[in-house]
């Protein structure tokens, strides 16, 4: 049955059929969250890139409504972003209705092109590129409004002096005419960090709107935090990384988010080209981004959007407990397929605290303050001696948030449907579980 196939993520968007990779044009417009996505409508492998299109009222339940952008004389439709032109700077609005303006790469001309809609359903394109090829296979335009200079700002991946991977900043008064401004250098070869799919946005530090920083990220999730004067981005800290899941790439954030949040969706690389599936790959759970000051500096955190809570259908609460090495499994009575686990623990004398999630061990090494899942190990620092984690389990893997969101680890593992058990255990000593709740979740595909 469509949307309930064996390897169809039940907490995540994936296309009815064909391949998807990057999320594109994430924007809230006319009462809907739009999710465009790199889409091959003709096969389960990468190719023939179109912009597929789905909409949602709540970031959870998606309705796929067909292709929005088809390949044209500029080439296949590669990734990019979208904005709402509320002040009609582009003149593309109609009868007082602001336009949604989309930017994409025509991947034969390697030019940045513009499309728009005034109803979120019918899409029009300018017949010329707004940013002609600069120097290479330039791609992935993302646009954001800069209030102090009253200008639009575009970031796009290029290569600059000495073949460095670089992000070109451009500015525009009207979304149509763009002028080159600053360049941010991101290193060469394997040392690079600014490669493909740049993102650029401003966030308050610890919620303090008097202290805001700009964040520049690229496809693999490494990022820089700094200041931006409307032309030039000055990084204060670079090559930061808080997500080591091998399986998360090319994330993008929503423009015009109605609650003022910075909400991100990324391509969750899944292992789904098998078992007769008609589609392949998935988008992640939407997460909310924030900046927080740590001992090391200012860092991004990710937490699942609160909308996710609406999927809870059954609660298994557990009271505060001491978890001794070798003790009986406190979660023995739980029986779930789709699950959310929320826990806070103090490791005490334990050497390891392990959650076994439907056969997948999530292992916290106390001395090293590291989390290991499926062979991937990431730093997960204790906060005031505590570790807090959120784990989502779907058919196609786990999304794990640790250290109050300093670590986000999506890991793709196709989980055996029959295994509906959870376990928590300690080794080497006794851990204190301060609180622990397991929720059974319902599918987003109703
Ligand atoms: C990243 C990426 C982008 C490009 C798109 C093509 O995954 O390579 O740079 O626009 O995918 O599908």
Q: How confident is the model over 271-318, as pLDDT tens digits? A: 999 999 999 999 999 999 999 999 999 999 999 999 999 999 999 999
3-state secondary structure of 91: coil
* pTM of the shown model: 0.97
127 is annotated as an active-site residue: no
Ligand 1 atom 6, closest CA: 78
pLDDT in tens, 62-75: 999 999 999 999 99
Q: Are 266 and 156 in contact (CB under 8 A)?
A: no
CA 325 to ligand 1 centroid distance, Å: 47
Cα-based distances in Å from 167 to 36, 155, 361, 388: 23, 6, 39, 35
Which whole number is the average pLDDT over 193-212? 97
Give CA–CA dist 35/62, Å, rounded.
9
CA 46 to ligand 1 centroid distance, Å: 10
pLDDT in tens, 376-414: 999 999 999 999 999 999 999 999 999 999 999 999 999
Q: What's the token pair of residue 400?
A: 């794990």
Q: Is the pLDDT of residue 41 over 80?
A: yes
Give CA–CA dist 268/21, Å, rounded.
8
Which whole number is the average pLDDT over 158-168? 94
Q: Is the pLDDT of residue 244 over 80?
A: no
Q: Are 282 and 270 in contact (CB under 8 A)?
A: yes
Q: Which atom of ligand 1 is nearest to the CA of 140?
A: 10
Pairing of strands 279-280, 18-29: parallel
Ligand 1 atom 8, closest CA: 196
First to last CA, the chain: 12
Confidence of residue 190 (pLDDT cuts 50, 70, 90): confident
Give CA–CA dist 263/34, Å, rounded.
12
CA angle 206, 407, 215 (to 5 degrees): 50
Q: Is the pLDDT of residue 119 over 90?
A: yes
Q: Are 264 and 251 in contact (CB under 8 A)?
A: yes
Give CA–CA dist 303/432, Å, rounded.
23
Cα-based distances in Å from 295 to 131, 210, 256, 290: 41, 20, 32, 16
Which of 112, 138, 140 most suits a substitution to test ligand 1, by most atoms within 8 Å of the C-beta? 140
pLDDT averaged over every residue in the chain: 97
Q: Which listed residue (22, 85, 247, 394) is catalytic?
A: 22
3-state secondary structure of 58: coil
Which whole number is the average pLDDT over 230-240? 97
Q: Which atom of ligand 1 is nearest to the CA of 79?
A: 10
CA 139 to ligand 1 centroid distance, Å: 8
Give CA–CA dist 30/7, Å, rounded.
33
CA angle 201, 203, 208 (to 5 degrees): 165
Which residue, among 227, 225, 229, has the nearest Cα to 291 in the 3D structure?
Answer: 225
Which whole number is the average pLDDT over 228-244? 93
Q: Are 236 and 227 in contact (CB under 8 A)?
A: yes
What residue ranges line ligand 1, CB within 6 angstroms? 21-22, 38, 49, 78-79, 105, 139-140, 196-197, 219, 249-250
Which of 15, 19, 22 most suits a substitution to test ligand 1, by most atoms within 8 Å of the C-beta? 22
Q: Is the pLDDT of residue 446 over 90?
A: no
Question: In the chain, which residues fall in CATH 2.60.120.560?
Answer: 310-441
Which of 41, 51, 71, 79 most suits a substitution to test ligand 1, by most atoms within 8 Å of the C-beta? 79
3-state secondary structure of 190: helix
Question: In the chain, which residues fall in CATH 2.115.10.20?
Answer: 18-304
CA 249 to ligand 1 centroid distance, Å: 10
Topology of domain 310-441 in CATH is: Jelly Rolls (2.60.120)
Q: What's the token pair of residue 125?
A: 């394109």
CA 118 to ligand 1 centroid distance, Å: 26
Q: Which CATH superfamily is domain 18-304 in?
A: Glycosyl hydrolase domain; family 43 (2.115.10.20)
CA 79 to ligand 1 centroid distance, Å: 6
């Amino acid at each position: 049955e469509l949307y309930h196939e064996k390897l169809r993520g039940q907490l995540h968007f994936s296309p009815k059929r064909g391949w998807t990779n990057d999320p594109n044009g994430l924007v809230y417009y006319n009462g809907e969250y739009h999710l465009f996505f790199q889409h091959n409508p003709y096969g389960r492998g990468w190719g023939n890139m179109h912009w597929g299109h789905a909409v949602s009222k709540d970031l959870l339940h998606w309705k796929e409504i067909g292709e929005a952008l088809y390949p044209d004389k500029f080439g296949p439709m590669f990734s990019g972003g979208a904005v709402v032109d509320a002040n009609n700077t582009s003149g593309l609005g109609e009868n007082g209705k602001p336009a949604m303006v989309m930017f994409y790469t025509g991947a034969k001309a390697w030019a940045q092109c513009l499309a728009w809609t005034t109803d979120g359903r019918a899409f029009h394109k300018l017949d010329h590129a707004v940013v002609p090829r600069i120097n290479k296979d330039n791609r992935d335009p993302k646009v954001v409004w800069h209030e102090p200079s009253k200008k639009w700002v575009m970031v796009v991946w290029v290569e600059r002096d000495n073949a460095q991977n670089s992000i070109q900043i451009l500015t525009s008064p009207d979304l149509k005419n763009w002028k080159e401004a600053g360049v941010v250098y991101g290193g060469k070869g394997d040392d690079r960090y600014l490669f493909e799919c740049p993102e650029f946005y401003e966030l308050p530090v610890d919620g303090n709107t008097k202290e805001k920083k700009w964040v520049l990220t690229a496809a693999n999730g490494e990022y820089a935090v700094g200041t931006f004067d409307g032309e030039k981005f000055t990084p204060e800290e670079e090559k930061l990384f808080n997500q080591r899941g091998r399986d998360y790439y090319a994330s993008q954030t929503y423009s015009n988010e109605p609650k003022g949040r910075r909400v991100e969706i990324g391509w969750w690389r899944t292992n789904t080209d098998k078992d007769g599936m008609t589609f392949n790959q998935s988008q992640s759970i939407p997460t909310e981004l924030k900046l927080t000051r740590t001992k090391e500096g200012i860092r991004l955190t990710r937490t699942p959007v609160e909308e996710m809570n609406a999927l809870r259908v059954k609660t298994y609460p557990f009271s505060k407990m001491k978890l001794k090495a070798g003790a009986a499994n406190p979660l023995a009575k739980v029986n779930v397929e789709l699950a959310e686990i929320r826990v806070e623990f103090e490791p005490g004398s334990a050497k390891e605290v392990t959650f076994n999630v439907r056969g997948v061990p999530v292992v916290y090494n106390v001395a090293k303050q590291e989390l290991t899942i499926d062979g991937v190990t990431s730093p997960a620092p204790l906060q005031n001696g505590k570790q807090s984690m959120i784990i989502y389990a779907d058919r196609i893997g786990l999304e794990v948030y640790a250290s109050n969101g300093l670590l986000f680890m999506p890991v793709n593992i196709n989980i055996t449907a029959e295994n509906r058990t959870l376990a928590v255990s300690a080794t080497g000593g006794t851990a204190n579980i301060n609180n622990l709740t397991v929720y059974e979740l319902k599918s987003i595909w109703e």
